[in-house]
Amino acid sequence: MITRRKTARASVHGPSRSARRKSYRVVCTGCGKEMFIEVAPPVGKDLFCVDCFKK
């Protein structure tokens, strides 16, 4: 009899909780708008939203 090994399959519901990226809430230095970014914000640096960065 031939047996098949079970293989890991990707979930149809997206990545597992451990594979999800962490979001950080930051505030724009220019206008005060709240934003969420997926990388750790740099300490001591000004962060700007897209609109303020274009100015």
The CA distance from 12 to 9, in Å, is 9
In a domain, 42, yes or no: yes
Write the CB contacts of 55 (distance below 8 Å, at least 6 apart in sequence).
30
pLDDT of residue 23: 93
The domain tally of the chain equals 1
Domain span at residue 49 reads 22-54
pLDDT of residue 21: 74
Please give the full DSSP string across 22-38, using - where no structure is assigned: P-EEEE-TTT--EEEES
In a domain, 28, yes or no: yes
pLDDT of residue 55: 85
In a domain, 10, yes or no: no
Q: Please, are residues 47 and 26 in contact by the beta-carbon 8 Å criterion? A: yes
User: pLDDT, tens digit, for every residue of 3-55?
Assistant: 666 665 555 666 655 566 789 999 999 999 999 999 999 999 999 999 999 98
pLDDT of residue 48: 95
Running DSSP on this structure, what letter comes out for residue 19?
G
**Residue 14 falls in which region: left (phi positive, over 0), alpha (psi -120 to 50) or beta:** left
